[in-house]
Structures are given as structure tokens and as C-alpha cells.
Structure 1
Amino acid sequence: MNAEHLAVEPLLAARRLLGATLWSGEVAIRLVEVEAYGSDPAGPWPDPAAHSYPGPTARNKVMFGPAGMLYVYLSYGMHTCVNVTAGPDGTACAVLVRAGEVIAGHDIVRGRRPAARKDADLARGPGNVGSALAITLADYGTALFDTASPIRLELAPELTDPSAIAVGPRVGVSLAADIPWRLWIPDSPAVSAYRRSPRAPRLERPA
């Protein structure tokens, strides 16, 4: 399987990333929680919560390129967040890696994440994924399916059993907060907790 498997709509790309292995040097994590993000208004999946929504910029330009590239940005100026581009070339789409299980390089990751109390905490949450893999802004645009890349993605067989995937709203976004584009493997202890943004509109409850 290669980048073409991710050249699809956001939610399907997110499903295909669940269970994949992301390598960074000698460290590898199994992806157990992801979030899909769509396009600018001119694209087929307008998503006001996506970095692509304003259109191409210096920050988000890799989102408008081919699938299978690394999109990295800083959250709150300190947490490196790791994304995989998806969708057809020229159409913005990306999937945020929210959590993973460390499956290689445990000792290396423990050195990077000394505050983690247990293995399940090592790469739980987007900022911790970046820390565990030691990914920085310098890695922006890395081709994840290039065998010569220091950061590589290996897709796994797609999870087809409905009980193997849980679906819910994205975490912490104030716009399009209720779109169910967060996917996770429900039996993984590394999945992060859901936190709704306090800036998101309140859900209307039935009378």
C-alpha cells in the first residue's frame, strides 16, 4: 500500500490510517486515534476547522499537495502536531495523529517523555505524539512513503469490523465542532480523552 490509498476523502483516509505504523528513526507507534480535516470552500469538503480553510498559505501549502506527506505545525507555540496529507493532489485534506501506541524504541521515548507514568501515556495526545517521535517543524513536507525518508508510514489492512472503530466529534475545535471526524480504536488504552472546546456553540438539547 502506498500514498494512493490516502488520495481519498477525509474520513476514508482517516479510517485507512488507523492501525498504521509511523516510524521516526528507531521509534515506531501504531496509530490508534486520528482526526480528519477537510478543504477550503473551493474544495469538495469545506471545513472551517481545517488549516486549509483560508486557502493556500505558506503554512498549509503541503495540505494542497499529494497525499502521504507530513504536515507539521506548532500548537500554542510549543506542541508539535503531526498530520498526514490526504485527498487528490491539489485538493486540501489532512489527518491529525492524535494518539499512538509505542511499538518500537520504548527506551528512547521514555527518555523523551519522562513525565509519562505508563506506556499508554507515551504518545497519548497530539503534542505527545510529536514529542515521542521527536518530529519538528524541520520535518515539514517529508514524503512518508519514501523508503529513504527518516520518517515513514506503513499502512495496515483496513479495519472493516464496525466494532473495531469508534467515531465521534473532534477535540478542541470551536468551528464544526460536532462533525464526527475523530476515529479511534476503542480497546486501546492510549486513546486520549474527549474535550469539547469551551468556544464551541452549545449543543441544542431536545425539549
Structure 2
Amino acid sequence: MSPYQAFFTNRPTEEIAKDLLGRELSYQSSAGRVAGLIVETEAYLGEQDSASHAYNGRRTNYSEALYGAPGTIYVYQIRAHYCFDAVVQDQEEPQGILIRALEPTEGLELMEERRHQVGVNLTNGPGKVGQALGLVDRHLDGQPLETAPLSIDLTKRRAPQSIGVSSRVGVNQRGSHGNAPLRFFVDHNPYVSKMLKRDSDLVNHGWGD
């Protein structure tokens, strides 16, 4: 079993979502390399989760990557922007973790050029992350994080001082899992979506080191 398969299996999806916080995600495109620390994630728990693309066993060609091996990239479009999940758990178990926000670490100027933004608005939401990385289509859908140009460094992690937990953003609140506490974030990090400036740690960004 590869390190990626081991990381994305054998424990609850919620635990994996928390463990992704503080790990560096990067994308190497023809325009250059961009990267950032993951500061916000959301867990989606498969066929029993009312907010999941696989709810009630729904399976289409569009969502087929969600049923792939652990560590597979699942890219999907929301309005005009592309978002992506890291697929977790065993193959045919359609659970995923949405990468909702990043704190940029590399390629800042390229991100700003793509987003026409500066500061925390650059990457404080899943569509913004996709645009800042340069995701303009679904060609990475179904590829393994382990070998794709979009990857997550699992060898090291910056530790959050504390991890915040809340319900997910933008899901149907009337669904059975609409208010489930499945959103995780680096507490007080200014790049977290919906983080108010008065609640932000503008010095250490919520990191424990």
C-alpha cells in the first residue's frame, strides 16, 4: 500500500479532513508552480450523506472519480469555478474531502494574476482555490494525487494551534446531514472562508509553531 493510500484510508473521514490541515497542496502547470497550506476542509461521507454527490447511491459518469481509489482527485464545477475533493476510503466507497481554503506559500504573483485579487480573498473559498491554482477544466479528474501535477505533501505538516469545527457551507440545511459538524479549519487563520477580521490572528495565522 502506498503512503497516499494509507493516509486516505483506515480511519474516519473526519479525522483525515483534520489531518489535512497544515499540509501543503501544490499545482505545477505550464505557467508555473503555486502552493499553499490547507487551512479549511469539509468531509463528505458518501451514500448516506445528504450533501454528498453520491447520496442515496447516485452515480454518474461525472462523479465516477468519487468511487475511485483513495487519493484520487475528484474535480467538479460549481457555477463558473472548479473545485476538487481528495477521495478517501476504499475504492467503491464514495467519500471525499473538499479543499475549501489555502494560505499561499508559493507562486503568489501568479495566483494574484489569475484571481485579480490580493490578500485573504485570494484563496478563502473552494472556487477561489481552484481559480488561484489555475484549474480551468476537469482534466485532472480521476488522476491520483500521488503522481498528478496537483498533489499534497504528506511528509510534513504545520500544526494548527487549534482546529475549529462547524457545519458545512452552502449545503442544503434541510437535508439529514445539513447541519452535521463536518467542516474543519485552522482556528483564527485569516484565509479561512467566513473568518471575520476581528477573529483573525494576523500575526501567527493560528499556527502552533
TM-score, structure 1 normalization: 0.82
Q: How many matched pairs?
A: 182
Would you say the 8 A contact 1:16–1:158 is kept in 2?
no
* Aligned 1:117-132 pairs, distance under 5 A: 117-118=118-119, 120-132=120-132
Partner of 1:152: 151
Would you say the 8 A contact 2:24–2:157 is kept in 1?
no
73, 78, 90: which is aligned to 2:76? 73
Would you say the 8 A contact 2:42–2:168 is kept in 1?
yes
Query: Equivalent residue of 1:32, what SS?
Result: strand
Q: Deviations over 1:79-118 (max 9, x none)?
A: 111211111222110001110011000111111011x242
User: What is the CA-CA distance between 1:182 and the residue it aligns to?
Assistant: 0.1
* Aligned 1:183-202 pairs, distance under 5 A: 183-193=184-194
Which deviates further from its counterpart, 182-191 or 52-61?
52-61
- Structure 1 regions of 5+ residues with no counterpart? 41-45, 195-207
Cα distance between partner residues in 2 of 1:54 and 1:140: 22
Would you say the 8 A contact 1:82–1:129 is kept in 2?
no
User: What is the CA-CA distance between 1:158 and the residue it aligns to?
Assistant: 8.3
Structure 2 residue identity aligned to 1:81 = C
Partner of 1:16: 19
* Aligned 1:1-207 pairs, distance under 5 A: 1-7=3-9, 8-25=11-28, 26-40=33-47, 46-55=48-57, 56-76=59-79, 78-114=80-116, 116-118=117-119, 120-135=120-135, 136-146=137-147, 149-155=148-154, 156-157=156-157, 159=159, 164-174=162-172, 175=175, 176-193=177-194
Q: Deviations over 1:105-159 (max 9, x none)?
A: 0111111011x242x221110100000111231111121112xx21111124485
Query: Equivalent residue of 1:137, what SS?
Result: coil
Partner of 1:198: none
Cα distance between partner residues in 1 of 2:73 and 2:19: 16
Would you say the 8 A contact 2:123–2:191 is kept in 1?
yes
Would you say the 8 A contact 1:36–1:95 is kept in 2?
yes
Superposition CA RMSD, Å: 1.7
- Structure 2 regions of 5+ residues with no counterpart? 196-209
1:20/1:157 CA distance change after superposition, 3 Å: closer
Moved runs in structure 1, 4+ residues, more than 6 A?
Answer: none
Structure 2 residue identity aligned to 1:185 = V
Cα distance between partner residues in 1 of 2:38 and 2:142: 19
Partner of 1:200: none
Identity in percent: 30
Structure 2 residue identity aligned to 1:130 = G
